[in-house]
Amino acid sequence: MTLVIGLDTGGTFTDAALLDTAAGTVLATGKALTTRHDLSIGVGGAIQRVLDNFDGKATDIGLVSLSTTLATNAVVEGVGGRVGLMMIGFDDAALERADLARALGQDPVFFIKGGHSPDGGPQAPLDQAAIRAAIAATEGEVSAFAIAGHFATRNPEHEVKARDMIREATGLPVTCSHELSSALGGPRRALTALLNARLINLLDRLIAATESIMSAQGLSCQLMVVKGDGSLLQGDYARSRPVETVLSGPAASLAGAAFLAGTATAMIADIGGTTTDIALLRNGAPMLKPDGALVGGWQTMVEAADIRTCGLGGDSEVRPLSRGSADGVTLGPRRAVPLSLLAMQWPEVKAKLAEQLAVAVPMATDGRFVMPLMPDGVPHWLTRSEARLAEKAIAMVPSSVADIAGTQLALGAVDRLIGRGLLTLAAFTPTDALHVTGDFAEFDAEAAQLGAALMARQKNGVGNPMAATPEELARITLAELHRRTGLALMDAALAHDGAGEGQASANPLLTDLYRDGDGKDDQLVSISLDLGVGVVGLGASAATHYPHVARRMGVELTVPEHANVAGAVGAAAGSVRQRVMISVTQPSEGRFRVHLADGPKDLPDMDEALDIARQAASDLARDRALQAGAARVTISLEEDIKLVPLSADHDLFVEALIHAIADGHAS
């Protein structure tokens, strides 16, 4: 098998690339708009464009590999299903760690007696009655469950029991924290499990849509999904582990950048519709972040490429600054359908925009529309006010926010429905600004112009209009995008140098570093930072935006051929990799405890315990790689055996961590 179709489903575009992986060449590419209401339309369009440019037959394709930014975007935007979280053996103080309380939001959480101690022994019996009560309390109100047990990575017994009870009683998806990470740190494992449970329905829809279109187009080969470290998972296996696809799209783009640019070391910046993803490519390979991916401010336990993702993209929602006298805008982190794109499907929105512009007094809801994302109807777990508003949105597509939400209470319900992924927002975006300036013209420029005019007359904190003309408003919007992109690149570079996160964007002296003009000639002090490597720009709008960013930063820029489909190229070039860890502890003198996937096992001899741990780690990694879709697997081991010398001939055993890495190519 050498012919692979790589797919990259982003928030705005779905890209496809056909690679001959043996020859290392791109044979054909294709691009289609991502259709969130029915993802199969966008996926099918991209695949069809590739097949139309291919001389062979669909049956010649040996594999389809899918990378996606949908999980990343959902985490950044706070979108996902309502989840019931069960914390076994924790008290409510655990919510204050790992930012878990903020991640949980209004979703229900239950504290269940049970869990285990650090040595893997039970710290209390599992309170099964409390689990049954939690199931009853959430009946019809959640879409999935997440479970985190105290020291579950040392003994998963209580997580497994709770999972089986919930599945039997509800039939809903259940995520156990020990299945996603072998590391300690209960609240962070709980956060990762919570995010995974929220994302299950999103990824399931995407995989189902891709499989249906593959079948319709005669592609009978296997479907793989790209993980956040750039490796692959078999589609069905990925359905239960969607959080592992967080940073899937950016990781695939990194692989694509290495494939396309031929650059050994560079900062890679990939601008999409919702996010900008930044990473360091060193010696031709992406750096990994084994302690967990940082996405949208959430520190997960997902092993992934060391990528920093910020809510900044071509389709970032643009809002006016509402405080102070400055004429400026804020961007993101929420994505919005550009008004210019909305008008392509519903030209009547231009009449509504013109009607709003004719009203003398500007309203905060001007130029804002919503469309429903509820293929199965209004969910029964919504509040009464949310359900009424959702029904209005379904009856009137697209709906002007002003027409369906006339009160602050209703506007709050709109925001909550957008946050739940049940409504899609359409508003003015940087993509619209490009239509106003004439730098991009694929959609409806008239709708963009009307949206810019509505935004320009919005008032700042002292009551002045944001801009004198739509053109000025567009320039302000693009300047802010370029300024923040420069800061994001410098943030990432400083973090790689060990200075910590957000050092440029959080420093008042540096926030205006990449702003054009604005009285800089009058400043007595000139501050500059130099980036020590070049920048490779990726994404559909890279060639439009990144030359401005590179000029402001004074860096060398490369935008390679096929940069607009780098994620699809990287997806096609991936392979399967699974990494697991088995720990060995010594709970008492002469007793060595191996913490296996099905519970701890005690042995009297250290070497015997280590051998069992090595074999168990190898077997588990091999099994997971085979489940993930690998045909042939090679195993490598990494060991961290902690010993403290007590005398010339005696060491004190503290702990051993046995890592097994299984690598293989998809079957």
Average pLDDT score over residue span 119-129 = 95
- Residue 73 domain-assigned? no
Strand 535-538 relative to strand 557-558, pairing: parallel
Q: Please, are residues 583 and 154 in contact by the beta-carbon 8 Å criterion? A: yes
Residue at a domain's end among 151, 168, 198: 198
Average pLDDT score over residue span 142-158 = 96
- Residue 459 domain-assigned? no
CA distance to 178, 188, 263, 313, per residue, from 101 (Å): 20, 11, 42, 27
- Residue 545 domain-assigned? no
Q: What pLDDT sits at residue 520?
A: 57
The string of pLDDT tens digits covering residues 99-114 is 999 999 999 999 999 9
Percent of the chain whose predicted confidence (pLDDT) is above 70: 98
Q: What pLDDT sits at residue 2?
A: 80
- Give the residue among 393, 351, 352 at the shortest CA–CA distance from 370: 393
Residue at a domain's end among 198, 214, 234: 198
What is the Cα–Cα distance from 201 to 242, expressed in whole angstroms?
9
Q: What pLDDT sits at residue 296?
A: 76
The neighbouring-strand residues paired with 149 are: 88
Which domain covers residue 147, as residue numbers?
A: 81-198
Does residue 121 surpass a pLDDT of 80?
yes
- Residue 635 domain-assigned? yes
Q: What pLDDT sits at residue 326?
A: 61
Percent of the chain whose predicted confidence (pLDDT) is above 90: 64
The string of pLDDT tens digits covering residues 546-570 is 999 999 999 999 999 899 899 999 9
87 or 326: whose pLDDT is higher? 87
Average pLDDT score over residue span 237-258 = 87
- Residue 125 domain-assigned? yes
166: CATH: 3.40.50
Least confident range of 89-93, 149-153, 392-396, 432-436: 392-396
User: Quick one: 480 exposed, middle or buried, by C-beta within 10 A (0-12, 13-18, 19+)?
Assistant: buried
Q: What pLDDT sits at residue 132?
A: 97
C-alpha dihedral, 324 to 318 to 296 to 531, nearest 10°:
-80
Average pLDDT score over residue span 480-484 = 95
Average pLDDT score over residue span 18-39 = 86
The string of pLDDT tens digits covering residues 611-659 is 999 999 999 999 999 999 998 899 999 999 999 998 888 889 999 999 9
Q: What pLDDT sits at residue 573?
A: 86
Helix, coil or strand: residue 571: helix
Quickly state the pLDDT bin for 325 (edges 50, 70, 90).
Answer: low
Least confident range of 31-40, 58-67, 221-230, 403-412: 31-40
- Residue 521 domain-assigned? no
- Residue 534 domain-assigned? no
H-helix or E-strand spanning residue 427: strand 423-427
- Residue 54 domain-assigned? no
Q: What pLDDT sits at residue 353?
A: 97
297 or 667: whose pLDDT is higher? 297
Residue at a domain's end among 158, 183, 198: 198
637: CATH: 3.30.110
Does residue 47 surpass a pLDDT of 90?
yes
Number of domains composing the chain: 3
Least confident range of 131-145, 222-236, 444-458, 611-625: 222-236
The neighbouring-strand residues paired with 353 are: none
- Give the residue among 647, 533, 628 at the shortest CA–CA distance from 222: 628
The string of pLDDT tens digits covering residues 366-380 is 999 999 988 778 888
